Chain A
C-alpha cells in the first residue's frame, strides 16, 4: 500500500521558515479531530529548524536541519503511552490521540528526537501529524512540502518497495540512526549535519598568487580520509570527515615544500591562509 514518507535535503534548506509557518497556519487555532487539538499561538515547533555553522570566516557553510515528528516505524513514544493514546496508522503516520492522551506530560520526554510538545492549556502532548487530515482528504502534499521553495522537503505517498528504491538512488539516511527507530522522515546530504570538513586558503609565497591545484589530504590513523584540490582562489575544502581528533593534514604542490599540521576536527575547521614556500 501507499504509505507516508517525507524526504528532507539538507543541501537545499536555507531556513526560509515557510514550512514552520505553514505548519502554524494549518494547526494554530484549528482542531482537526480525531488527529489533533489546536496548536497554541506561540511556543511550539512541530517542525523545528536547527542550525549549525561549519568552518570559520571566510570559508563557512551554514547547515539547517528541519526536524518534524519522524513518524518512526518503531516509535518509542508509542511504547510509553497507554493503549490507544498513541497509535500508528496503516500509512505509517504516528498519531497522538488528543483525547486519550490527555493529562500525560511524560509523553513529551518519550520522544528521543524532542519532537513532542506540551500544550499547557489543553493539557495534551502534541506534535506534527503528518497532515493526516489533509492526506485523508486527498492532498498530495503536506503543508510543509507544499510551500518549500527550494525543493528541500519532498512528500512521497509510496509503497515501502518504491521508497526503498528512492532511498538507494538518493542516498537517504535516518537522522540519529543509532536510535534504531526506523523513521519515515529521511534526510539527503545528512553529512552536512553529521560530518566535518577541513579547509584552507592556499597561496604561493614567492608569487603571492593563489595556489590553484594545491592538494589537501586528511589522514587519520594512517588512512587517507579525504582529499581535495584548491580552486582558482586557492580555496580547498575536504568534507565528509568523521568528527574527531588526530587528523594529519598535508598540503602539497609541485615545486613547493609541503605544509603539514595535526588538527582536531571535533568541529569543521578552516586553517586560514597557508603560504607555500618554494622548494
Chain B
C-alpha cells in the first residue's frame, strides 16, 4: 500500500490534518494536538478548575470538505460561453442560458487581458467593477484581501464594497450609542469567559445560536464545552429567538419567541419593568450614560403618552406580559450576561428594519444592569477565552501581500513585510475613488445613477458612515467590465433577481468569473477562470483571527493555532491558484514582475509572511514546516483585563483593543462617543441631524420602537403575504461554502431534502400554517411575494410559531425553471424574496429579516 502522508491545513470551519495517499486526499480529521504543544489554560471559578478538551473541533462543512474539493461541480478548464465572441457578437442576453465550451488558458487569459485594456482605454480608471464573496477560503496569502486586492489595485477597479451583512444594526445603530467603530460597532470581549464562570448567574441568548453559526464565526464548536460548564454551575439559560434554535435545543431553560421585528418592544417593556420597580443600576446609569432621563420619559410614556408597558409589548410581540415581567425580575435579580447575537454582536435581529434599534436596545438593557461590572456584560460564551494577545500574527484584515490600507487597520503587516515601503496605494480604492455598495451592484450594472451614505465597513470613525457617495463618482465613467470572484450574491444579498437580471439586461459588455465551482453567478459569465481550493496551494493562517476589526478574535478558540496550510494535492484538472491566475494576467498586462515582486512563488510569500510575524521568536521555519502548526500558549501570569471593566470603573482602558484611538477619547478614558459615555441620546446622530440630514428611522434618542416597514403592522401587505420570513445564516454551510456543489451537505436531512432527483432547500413552517394550506411534511412548496418565487421543500415543525416561517439564506447555486431573473428558482435562493430596502434610508445595510411572503403547495409541471 502506498505511503500515507499527514499534512496540515486550515479552513473557515477549523484546523485539520489531511492524510494524502497516491496524490489523493484519503481523509480529513480535526488537527490533533500533541504533547510537545504548550499546556492548555485553566480557569478557576467557584471552587472548580475548568480546562478545555485538548482537541480541536470542526464545523460540518469542514468535516465534509473533501466533497467540495472533489465536487462534481468543480470547474476543471477555462470556459467560454458558446455564443460569446469578444470580437463580434457578444450576446449578453443569453448569459445564464447558453452553454460553455472549454478553451485553453492562453485563450482565456488573452481575452481577459484584452478586455481589461479595452475597459481602461475606453472608460478611464476604475472601469472594472469587481467584488468577491464575503469570505474566501482561509489563508492570508490567498484571501481576497491579499492576492486579489494586490492585482486589482495594480490594474484599477471599482470595488463592490461589502456591507456588514452579519451585524448591520450594531454598525449603523449600536455604534452611535457606544462607539467601537474600530470593531465596526461590536464590543470587545477580553477575558469574559473567566468573568462569566466566576460571576454570572444567568445568560440571556437574544438572537444567538452559537451551536449553529460556527460559534459566532470561524470557530466551529470551540465554545460548546463552556456552555456545559455554565450548565454544571447551575447558570440559567434563556433564549429569545423566533426559532427554537439549536443552542436552545441543548441548553434552554426558557424559550421566548417574539414576533419578528418586535424585539425592541419586548426590550422596552423589560426596561419599563425595571424603571417602575426600581431594579436597575441607578448609580451606573447616572455616571456612565448620557441622556438617560430623556429616554426614560419615552419608555414611561411621559414624553409621547404611550407607556411601554409589558401589556403594550404583549400586543406587539406576542409574549405574555406576565412572562416579560418574570424575565425582567429574574434578570435584575441575577448577574446576567446578554448573549446578543452569536458573537456578542451579530444576530438575525440586527439584520432587519428594526435592527439599529434592536442593537441599541441590547446596549441599553445591559447599561441599566451595569455593563462591564463582574458577571454583567454583552457576551455570547463564544469569545474571551484566555489568550496571549501580546503575540502577533496577521489576520486577513491586514491585507496579506496587498499592502492595501482599505483592509482595516492593516497597521503592522505591511511595515514588517516591506520596511522600505510596499506597493503605493491606489486612490481608486479609497474615499477619493469610485466605489459601489454591494447592495447596489445590479443598479450599477444597469448604469443607473446612485447615491448612498457610508463606504461599506465604516471602521475609520463613527462619522465615516455619514459620508455621501455617488455612482458614477465625479469624473469617473460607468463601469464597463465585471470581474466577479466566486458566485455568491444571488443567494446572499437581497431581492436578488436584480443580480440575475443585471447580467442579462444590464450594460456590462464583458463578465469574467474566477471561481472554483460552476454555480450561482459563475453561470452568467462570458469567460470562467477555474481557481483551486486551499488544499491545492500553499498558504499560512491563524485560526479564526481576522485581526483589524476582528482584533483578538482567536480568543474564541480554546487553543490558539497558527497553521502552515500545505499544498496537499496538485490542483484538480487545469485549475490554478488565485495567485497564479493573477500572476499570469499581470504578465500579459506587462506588470507581472510588479505583481509577483520579481517572481515570488506562493511558498516564498508564505515564508515571508512567517518571518514578518512574531513566529520566528518562538519557532524556526524548519520546525514550523515540519510540524505544520504552532500553538501559542497562554502565559500563566497573564494580566486579566475583562472587557469594559475599565469603562464601568471609569479607568483608563487597560484592554489591548485597537480603539478608541487617542483622538477619540479624552485621556484614554471613556468610549468613542463624544461624551465618552453610553449615549441614550446619540451625539453623533444629533450632529448628523444638525448637518441637515433627515432620517426619521434613525432618531438621535433611542432605542425607540418603530414598527417594521415590512411586518405585522404593514396591513395591506400582510393581507396579501401573511407570513413573516426569518432567514438566518445557514447551519451546515458558511455563506455559500460547503453548500450545494453536489457535496455531502446535500445528504444532511435538515439542510436539503431529496424530492424526485433534486435536493430542495427547506422552509420550516408551523403545524397550523401547514394545515391551513394542506401542506404535508416533505411537500414541495412555492414561496413567493411581489419580488419573485422560490420552490422549496416543507418541514413542518413546532420550532416556529404560527405566522412565522424559517428558511436559512445563502444557498450556493441558482437554478431557475424558466427565464433567469423572472421565473421560480429551485436552488433555494430565498433572498430573491427579501427586500432591497436599506435598514434605514441612511443606513446602507440589508434588512432581510423584514420580509412578508405567502406559501402554497407546488406541483412540478409535467
Contacts and interface: CB of A to CB of B under 8 A. Distances in A.
A26 interface: yes
B244 interface: yes
Interface residues of A, number: 47
Interface of B: 26-30, 57-58, 60, 63-64, 66-67, 70, 211, 220-221, 224, 228, 244, 246-247, 249-250, 253-257, 320-323, 325-327, 329-330, 732, 744-751, 766-767, 797-802
B493 to A, nearest CB: 27
B254 A235 contact: yes
A58 B747 contact: no
Nearest to B254: A233
Contacts of A14: 211, 246-247, 249-250
Contacts of B64: 21, 24-25
10 contacts: A20-B748, A53-B797, A58-B256, A149-B224, A150-B250, A151-B228, A201-B320, A203-B320, A208-B321, A234-B323
Contacts of A62: 244, 249, 799
A21 B323 CA distance: 40
Given A14-B246, A62-B244, A203 B322 contact: yes
A51 interface: yes
A15 interface: yes
A16 B250 contact: no
Contact of A232 (B28, B330, B745, B751): B330
A209 B327 CA distance: 12
A25 B749 contact: no
Given A18-B63, A21-B60, A233 B326 contact: yes
A147 B749 contact: no
B489 to A, nearest CB: 27
A46 to B, nearest CB: 11
SS of B interface (majority): mixed
A146 interface: yes
A12 B485 CA distance: 40
A18 to B, nearest CB: 5
The 7 closest A-B pairs by CB, nearest first: A149-B221, A21-B63, A21-B64, A57-B798, A149-B57, A57-B801, A14-B246
SS of A interface (majority): mixed
A9 B648 CA distance: 42
Contacts of B228: 150-151
B326 A57 contact: no
Contacts of B767: 56
Contacts of A16: 60, 211, 221, 246
A51 B750 CA distance: 10
A203 B321 CA distance: 11
Interface string A49-68: 10101011111111000000
Interface in A177-213: 201, 203, 208-210
Contacts of A29: 70
Interface string A221-238: 000000000011111000
B749 A43 contact: no
A44 to B, nearest CB: 9
A30 B329 CA distance: 58
A56 B60 CA distance: 29
A18 B750 contact: no
Given A14-B211, A60-B798, A21 B750 contact: no
Given A14-B249, A57-B798, A149 B323 contact: no
A234 B63 contact: no
A53 B249 CA distance: 11
A24 B330 CA distance: 46
A160 B750 CA distance: 37
A274 to B, nearest CB: 13
Contacts of A15: 246, 750
B746 A42 contact: yes
Contacts of A163: none
A254 B184 CA distance: 53
A49 B60 contact: no
A158 interface: no
A22 interface: yes
A17 interface: yes
A208 B799 contact: no
B57 A21 contact: no
A57 to B, nearest CB: 5
A61 B252 CA distance: 9
Contacts of B747: 20, 24, 42-43, 45
B394 to A, nearest CB: 28
A125 B9 CA distance: 35
A134 B654 CA distance: 50
B250 A12 contact: yes
Interface in A54-105: 55-62
Given A45-B747, A59-B255, 14 more contacts: A14-B249, A17-B63, A18-B58, A21-B60, A53-B799, A56-B767, A57-B257, A57-B801, A60-B798, A147-B58, A149-B220, A150-B250, A232-B330, A233-B254
Given A25-B28, A57-B801, A149-B57, A210 B63 contact: no
A49 B749 contact: yes
A231 B60 CA distance: 36
Contacts of B798: 53, 55-57, 60
Contacts of A209: 322, 325-326
Nearest to A11: B250
A17 B748 contact: yes
